[in-house]
A and B are shown apart, each in its own frame.
Chain A
Amino acid sequence: MTAYWKANQRRLAPLLFLAPGMLMFAIYVIIPIAQSMWISFYDWDGLGERVWIGTANYVELADDDSFYTSLKNNVIWLALYLLAVPAGLLIAIFLNQNVRGIRLYKSLFFFPFVISQVVVGLMFAWFYAPNFGLFYKLTEILFGSGTAVLADERFVTYGIIVAGLWPQIAYVMILYLTGLNNVAPDQVEAARLDGAKGWRMLWYVILPQLRPATFIAVVVTVIGALRSFDLVSIMTSGGPYGTSRVLSYYMYEQALSEYGYRMGYGAAIAVVLFGIMMIFISGFIWKMWRDETER
């Protein structure tokens, strides 16, 4: 035993150190993913007998208007959520200076990221609320009649995305602020001597050095947009009449909510969402792998 250990110690030690993490990852991530895919081929109410129905759930999904509404909203979320990246960069650059009390300003800008998404959702729901909400009153003064954002199918998704952007911008800002700390001062100095300033300085000198921060910011924002659930649930529950649903909320609604007894159908939606996420995640992983092997 000890002889074997001595001979193979170098080979075994990493595996042993990895084992707890890999075990957890398997139990809480890999196996549930496989189970969800398995369930998506069944008709199951979560209580009684499962009935194997093959790909029927997916066939139904392909002909489901609510699914396409959710998918469309997910795309809108994805596109608009990415605005958090330039907005966060802008605020980070603005705050990256040495004036009295800058720490206080920075923490004030960071504040929305600290409060829970549920609280953000509630605050914005009141902000938009008909009759007493600040935004409603504002539109009432400007246009004569108030607009209840969360009751109007044209605006509801955008209204929720704005609420989501508020903390997301703060998050991206922090990522960029730490990135800006690592910008090499000598390069900035040299660029300045060569006459670079303003936009050119930002584009050719600062941004290339911020690439790692940009990468992380894009990753967390894309993932954040795709798993947007809490704000939709808190602010509208997917309404009015399902127009603000996103895939993750639709999955919850079908499988687990008050009126949802369709585990198989919910699982099928989850698999589709997983597929979409995998496109982005594999893209990110491929990029990371390429960057590391190039060096």
Chain B
Amino acid sequence: MVQFQRGALALLAGLLLTGSAMAQQRTLTYNADYDPIPLAAFEALIADFEAANPDIDVVLNNFDHEGYKTAIRNFLTTDAPDLANWYAGNRMAPFVNAGQFIDVSDVWEANGLSDSLASAKASMTIDGKQWGVPYTYYQWGIYFNRDAYKAAGVEEPKSWDEFVANCEKFQAAGIDCITTGSSALWPVAGIFDYLSLRTNGYEWHMDLTAGKVAWTDQKVKDVFAQFARIQPFITANHAAIDWQDAAALLVQGKAANYVMGNFAVGTFKEGGMTNDNLGFMVFPEITPGIPRAEEAPTDTIHIPAGAKNVEDAKKFLAFVADAEVQTKLNAALGQLPTNKNSTVPADDPFLSAGFETISTAYALAQFFDRDAPAEMAKAGMEGIQEFMVKPDRLDAILERLEKVRGQVYK
């Protein structure tokens, strides 16, 4: 006991000494869900932030990516950090509506973010206020194996009809025209979103995810009619494999095309593909004349309502939104900066293509499971997966989704 007291005294003295020596160090706790490559990129960013603000110490608690999605609900209500990662669009709505994220419109105002982050503003806005700051997004599109195209003697398609016609040639050559791995469901939503955006356009697709359109509507059936054209050419048994397993099929040349996000490029390249045989194309036009909208899921940082150090957290958000910071961060992430004044590395064909694709797009969708509320997204993706396995059940599936729609949007 005596020793403990002596130790405590020494500790106290030490604290007092350092306290007087180097001003007050304030801590900023930050809960995040980075995989190894993004983690390294963010550690570099935090080091830069601490160098610019020597009086702030950022404590990063990194979670497992999938585990984070459920952990966030616990820590927001019990032990809130000062900063937390999440996603834009409807995905943040439950937290915003429950008052778990604070309004950061003042950060947007003070730093002119409405202008520099214009492309992402709509997806960060609920009730006319902004609830976080985006730091990256990435394009979706069709990634393809040029060697598989050569093996089947097929040219790159210029239109949707050509794409579908190619599929028959791939089938004759024993190659899956389109591959995907739907055991985690979300990859199928990418295909559906593009078919929907290209068939009926951005506004209609947003109405659908917002629950304003009935799932039994003829226009939904039009989308699935296009889906039915490629359904026979999608990798069989996709329901039992992960998206990474499907990526392996593309790498091995057993599949030709993959509707995916740009984060998959790293996986393709780890499998041995290079800029020479990995290709990227924008999803082809289906209904002529519809303005081209793209998928660009945005990753974001928010300040929880229970944050203890809101002032410094806002400083951090402003720092992350900065053009140069985003340039450096996204070069390390291999993704696109949300700040329009940032630049992308010119030697990466996929990033350059993505930047071009997104900046010339008519509008950006987040992704099915971020645009639609969680419950609708889950039921919808299950329905899409079921359609891909049993296309003849379409009517029953759509009726079930319509029932869910009636319950979700009240």
Interface residues, chain A, CB within 8 Å of chain B?
45-48, 60, 65, 128-131, 146, 148-151, 153, 236-237, 239-242, 253, 256-262
B385 in complex: contacting residue of A241, A253, A260, A261, CB < 8 Å: A241
Known contacts being A148-B237, A240-B385, is A47 close to B94, with CB within 8 Å?
yes
B41 part of interface (Cβ distance < 8 Å): no
CB distance A241 to B98 under 8 Å?
Answer: no
Interface size on B, residues (CB 8 A): 36
A132: nearest chain-B partner, CB-CB: B245
B46 part of interface (Cβ distance < 8 Å): no
* Shortest Cβ gap from A259 to chain B (Å): 4
Residues of A near B94 (CB, < 8 A) are: 45, 47-48, 261
B240 in complex: contacting residue of A46, A128, A261, A262, CB < 8 Å: A128
Residues of B near A151 (CB, < 8 A) are: 237-241, 389
B383: nearest chain-A partner, CB-CB: A241
Known contacts being A240-B385, A259-B369, A259-B374, is A60 close to B241, with CB within 8 Å?
no
Residues of B near A46 (CB, < 8 A) are: 73
B58 part of interface (Cβ distance < 8 Å): no
Residues of A near B374 (CB, < 8 A) are: 258-261
Residues of A near B182 (CB, < 8 A) are: 239-240
A149 to B237, CA, bound (A): 9
A261 in complex: contacting residue of B238, B375, B400, CB < 8 Å: B375
A241 to B384, CA, bound (A): 9
B185 part of interface (Cβ distance < 8 Å): yes
CB distance A239 to B407 under 8 Å?
Answer: no
Residues of B near A131 (CB, < 8 A) are: 237, 245, 249
CB distance A236 to B375 under 8 Å?
Answer: no
B100 part of interface (Cβ distance < 8 Å): yes
B376: nearest chain-A partner, CB-CB: A259
Interface centre among B69, B237, B377, B385 (most CB of A within 10 A): B237
A48 in complex: contacting residue of B97, B183, B239, B369, CB < 8 Å: B97
Residues of A near B389 (CB, < 8 A) are: 151, 153, 240-241
Residues of B near A47 (CB, < 8 A) are: 73, 76-77, 94-95, 98, 100
Interface centre among B183, B240, B382 (most CB of A within 10 A): B240
* Shortest Cβ gap from B316 to chain A (Å): 24
Known contacts being A45-B94, A236-B183, A258-B69, is A130 close to B240, with CB within 8 Å?
yes
Interface centre among A48, A151, A257 (most CB of B within 10 A): A151
A236 to B369, CA, bound (A): 19
Residues of A near B269 (CB, < 8 A) are: none
B378 in complex: contacting residue of A150, A236, A259, CB < 8 Å: A259
Residues of B near A242 (CB, < 8 A) are: 382
B266 part of interface (Cβ distance < 8 Å): no
Provide 29 A-B residue pairs closer than 8 Å at the C-beta atoms, listed in order of the A residue.
A48-B94, A48-B97, A129-B240, A130-B240, A131-B237, A148-B237, A148-B239, A148-B240, A149-B240, A150-B183, A151-B239, A151-B240, A153-B389, A236-B240, A239-B182, A239-B185, A239-B382, A239-B385, A240-B182, A240-B386, A241-B239, A241-B382, A241-B383, A241-B389, A256-B70, A257-B70, A258-B374, A259-B369, A261-B374
CB distance B386 to A241 under 8 Å?
Answer: yes
A243 to B32, CA, bound (A): 33
A256: nearest chain-B partner, CB-CB: B70
Residues of B near A130 (CB, < 8 A) are: 236-237, 240-241
A43: nearest chain-B partner, CB-CB: B410
* Shortest Cβ gap from B73 to chain A (Å): 6
B375 in complex: contacting residue of A65, A146, A241, A259, CB < 8 Å: A259
A170 to B65, CA, bound (A): 35
A129 to B389, CA, bound (A): 17
Residues of B near A153 (CB, < 8 A) are: 389
A255 to B184, CA, bound (A): 18
A46: nearest chain-B partner, CB-CB: B73
A257 to B183, CA, bound (A): 15
Residues of B near A129 (CB, < 8 A) are: 240-241
Residues of B near A259 (CB, < 8 A) are: 369, 374-375, 377-378
* Shortest Cβ gap from B237 to chain A (Å): 4
CB distance B375 to A262 under 8 Å?
Answer: yes
* Shortest Cβ gap from B374 to chain A (Å): 4
A258 to B64, CA, bound (A): 13
